[in-house]
Chain A
Amino acid sequence: MAAKSLTHDAVSTLIANPSPNSSSVLPEIVVQVLDLKPSGNRYMFNASDGTKKLRAILPSNVSSEVHSGSIQNLGLIRILDYTVNDIPNKSEKYLIVTSCEPVSPALEMEIRSDGSRDEGGVKSEGGAGILLKPKQEVVTKSAVQILHEQRGNSAPAARMAMTRRVRPLVSLNPYQGNWTIKVSVTSKGNMRTYRNARGEGCVFNVELTDEEGTQIQATMFNDAARKFFDKFVLGKVYYISKGTLKVANKQFKTVQNEYEMTLNESSEVEEVAGEASFVPETKFNFVQIDQLGPFVNKLELVDVVGVVKNVSSTMSIRRKSDNESIPKRDITIADETKKTVVVSLWNDLATNTGQELLDIADSSPIVAIKSLRVGDFQGVSLSTISRSVVLINPDIPEARRLRSWYDLEGKDAAMDSVGSGSSPTSNTGIRSVYSDRVSLSHITSNPSLGDVKPEVFSIRGYISFVKPDQAMWYRACKTCNKKVTESIGSGYWCEGCQKSDEQCRLRYIMVAKVCDASGEAFVSVFNDEAEKIVGCPADELDDLKSQEGEDNPYQLKLKQATWVPHVFRVSVTQNEYNNEKRQRITARAVVPVDFAAESRIMLEYISKMRS
């Protein structure tokens, strides 16, 4: 430390011994280089010891050090060999530095020992970095000097606010770069790595909120990300400046702001000392489990609250994009709608929060989760993202309500998975009747749909007609459902099971006319779906058919099926028939209309039309 400080009264020492003998031992002389300027191939400067200054020259052999940057203006040098000469015709002296070595690069400012060396002793250190001037001095310093001080890395934040006015977040725009904001970190994402055409990188975002409540998302890449990741702590307050703003990408919008901020390495982030850190109370907007349908595969995130019925163990999933292994845990939650849904917790939520839930699973804890993505696995599924927040047994009214419902009736109630009402396994995979929703005319107006491979859509429509005299069913083997033929003798022969059976079952295979606001189409319907449309199994309908009488109950039954609305999952393929390509629509699943869910879908269409 002492080596790095200015030698007290160095100038006097130099002057007192103007021509030192090269063999004598020189005292330690360290001076600060001020006003360094080139003169020919030499450099002139003022050597300062904090009290006095002496004009000095760095001869050409030393110039290279200046060029290389090891000797800098405002830096410190140790004088190893020198001569002090008089300036002709003046009473001043000047110093020729024949040999020196740099001690420190440029300091923040000129060091002055203005007689306040006794205070704190900090002054005489003159070390590289900050000069913490005693408070009284601030009053006498000029604005320029205060600004000089601020360039230090650890300048107390108070000075930042003093000279730079803090602006409200709402006033930021990309056209004015000189701003400082005071914000708290209300959300901090994980560090993500990515690979693109330019190579690899890492990125993370934070959500910042200022005192007025305005929010903005800030993103950092690569070096800036690494620099600031540990600095940003959820709940703490920071002064931030020198970020760049650009119009936010609405697709990835997480907060309400037209702009989003990017921080790079030259941005400044300073923690505000003494500001109480707070994590704002998480605001929830819960969606009941049975209302999740319309959100499937949409960008909108949902919040849910429910009783934890099951917690799985941690699984490790390998991400295809970069082969990274991520922990995952599935929990099943239920709410008063008596529906259950599986929530996949990822990363930390799987390992830490998930473990917590597993430990207390027997007590049927209530869990409230914010910002979930809705997927269509097994009909409807929920998945956490980096900004999801999971609260266990939170102290909010919805949780209390759930608790009392569960204790009274919920724990014994029979529950259904919310996805199961939608679509059973079919050869197109498990899908929800809320995804790929189209109008009938979309299908009928496009004859080439499904020519390569079957295309799947969902439709809401009415049965407009079921032709009574069509071949409604086929005789099926009771074991394998394949078509049976009448065998010689009695009974029916099943080719698949290679056996004969006295009895067979009738299974539906029929065509129904379906219509919606846009048009109508014939849809082929197989047994399970037809049963839902007609309302009874084929065997029963056959009985009704064979009944004679005025009011044929068979016709009546079919009539009752008309004008009933359903939501269908259909697949569209191309069939060749007499050298003609025909579109064939087959119902893969039929579910009753959930009017609340359909209303939501329609509201979404309306808002899409308006925007």
Chain B
Amino acid sequence: MDTSNPAAFVNAELLHFYVGRRVRALTQVVRSDGGIVIGKSTDEKQLVVKGSPPPAPLTTFVEVFGIVNNDKSITPDIWTNFGDAVDMVSYNKLCQLAHGEYKHLFL
């Protein structure tokens, strides 16, 4: 298992800490057109993913692995469908804990 470049769990608020680095973020897809997907992050802010999703249809909730660009959008690598019902609040709390007190457990 390649642990050389772990992706940090982020919400919109934490993006700026990880510019240029690999992150993973859960987003609720709001709009998806022409190479860009706009979503709502787990902390209710806008998340922009600059890339086209794979041909398979996206479910309402998607987790994206990717690199954070300077403009706080994400260039995606991997798209994972999370289905139509996900507890965003738990994911958001996870982002906060993984970035804060328990960062050493994750990165």
Q: What is the chain B residue whose CB lies nearest that of A337? A: B85
Interface membership of chain B positions 54-94, coded 1 if the CB is closer than 8 angstroms to chain A and 0 otherwise:
00000000000000000000000000000000110110010
Asked if residues B101 and A610 are in contact (CB atoms below 8 Å), the reply is: yes
Residue A26 CB within 8 A of the other chain: no
Contact present for B87 and A606 (CB under 8 Å): no
Q: Is the CB of A599 within 8 A of B90?
A: yes
The reply to whether the CB of B97 lies closer than 8 angstroms to some CB of chain A is: yes
Q: Is the CB of A596 within 8 A of B93?
A: no
B99 CB to closest chain A CB (Å) equals 14
Chain B residues with CB under 8 A of A596:
86-87, 90
Residue among B86, B90, B97, B101 making CB contact with A600, cutoff 8 Å: B90
With an 8 A cutoff between CB atoms, is A603 at the interface? yes
Contact residues on A (Cβ < 8 Å of other chain), bracket: under 10
The chain A residue sitting closest to B102, CB to CB, is A606
Contacts of A600 in B (CB 8 A): 87, 89-90
Residues of the A chain whose Cβ atoms lie less than 8 Å from the Cβ of B93? 603
On chain A, the residues within 8 Å of B89 by CB distance are 600
> Least Cβ distance of A262 to chain B in Å?
36
Contact partners of B101 in chain A: CB under 8 A: 610
Q: Which residues of B contact A606 (CB under 8 A)?
A: 97
* Secondary structure call for the B interface: helix
A204 to B93, CA, bound (A): 36
Query: How far is it, in angstroms, between the C-alpha of A596 and the C-alpha of B87 when the chains are bound?
Result: 6
Provide the A576-611 mask, 1 if CB < 8 A to any CB of B, else 0: 000000000000000000011001100100100010
Complex Cα spacing A610 to B101, Å: 10
Contact residues in A for B87 (Cβ distance below 8 Å): 291, 595-596, 599-600
Give bound CA distance, A418 to B89, whole Å.
20
Q: How far is the CA of A595 from the CA of B86 in the complex (A)?
A: 9
Q: Nearest-CB distance from A460 to chain B (Å)?
A: 15
Which residues from A are CB-within-8-Å of B97? 606
Q: A288 — nearest CB in chain B belongs to which residue?
A: B87
Quote the shortest CB–CB distance from B30 to chain A (angstroms): 15
- A8-41: CB near B (< 8 Å → 1, else 0) gives 0000000000000000000000000000000000
Q: Tell me the nearest residue of chain A to B97, going by C-beta.
A: A606
Docked Cα-Cα span, A414 to B86, in Å, equals 22
> In the complex, A153→B45 CA distance in Å?
53
A606–B98 alpha-carbon span in the complex (Å): 12
Q: Which residue of B lies closest to A599 (CB)?
A: B90
Q: Which residues of B contact A599 (CB under 8 A)?
A: 87, 90
A160 to chain B, nearest CB (A): 43
Q: Considering the chains assembled together, what is the distance between the CA atoms of A291 and B87 in angstroms?
A: 9
Chain B residue contacts of A291, Cβ below 8 A: 87
A595 to B89, CA, bound (A): 12
In the assembled complex, the CB of A342 is this many whole angstroms from the nearest CB of chain B, namely 24
- Chain A residues contacting B86 (CB-CB under 8 Å) are 596
Chain B residues lying within 8 Å of A603, measured Cβ to Cβ, are 90, 93
Residues of chain A within 8 A (CB-CB) of B90 are: 596, 599-600, 603
A606 and B100 alpha carbons, distance in the complex (Å): 13
Name the CB-closest residue of B to A600: B90
Q: How far is the CB of B19 from chain A (nearest CB, A)?
A: 28
Cα distance A600–B89 when bound, in Å?
9
Once bound together, how far apart are the Cα atoms of A135 and B97, in whole Å?
A: 62
Instruction: Give Cα A596–Cα B94 distance, bound, in whole angstroms.
Output: 12
State how many angstroms separate the Cβ of B63 from the closest Cβ of chain A.
15
Roughly how many angstroms separate A600 CA and B88 CA in the complex, as a whole number?
A: 11
Nearest CB to that of B101 among chain A residues?
A610
Closest to A595 in B: B87
Alpha-carbon distance between A600 and B97 when the two chains are bound, in angstroms: 13
Closest Cβ–Cβ distance, residue A337 to chain B (whole Å): 9
- A606 and B90 CA atoms in complex are apart in Å by 12
- Minimal Cβ-Cβ distance residue in A for B87: A596
Closest chain B residue, CB of each to CB of A287: B89
Most chain A CB within a 10 A radius of its CB, from B86, B90, B101: B90
What's the least CB distance linking B60 to chain A, in Å? 13
Shortest beta-carbon distance from B96 to chain A in Å: 10
Cα distance, A111 to B20, chains bound together (Å): 81
A14 vs B87: C-alpha distance in the bound complex, in angstroms?
91
- The answer for the CA separation of A599 and B92 in the assembled complex, in Å, is 11
Complex CA gap A291/B89 in Å reads 11
| Chain B, residue nearest A597 (CB) | B87
Residue ID in chain A nearest B86 by CB atoms: A596
> Which B residues are closer than 8 A to A by beta carbons?
86-87, 89-90, 93, 97, 101
| A binding-site residues for B, Cβ under 8 Å | 291, 595-596, 599-600, 603, 606, 610
- Going nearest first, the 10 A-B pairs with the smallest beta carbon separation are A596-B87, A599-B90, A603-B93, A599-B87, A596-B90, A600-B90, A603-B90, A606-B97, A610-B101, A600-B87
Task: List 12 additional A-B contacts (Cβ < 8 Å) besides A599-B90, A603-B93.
Answer: A291-B87, A595-B87, A596-B86, A596-B87, A596-B90, A599-B87, A600-B87, A600-B89, A600-B90, A603-B90, A606-B97, A610-B101
A-B contact pairs, 14 of them (CB 8 A): A291-B87, A595-B87, A596-B86, A596-B87, A596-B90, A599-B87, A599-B90, A600-B87, A600-B89, A600-B90, A603-B90, A603-B93, A606-B97, A610-B101
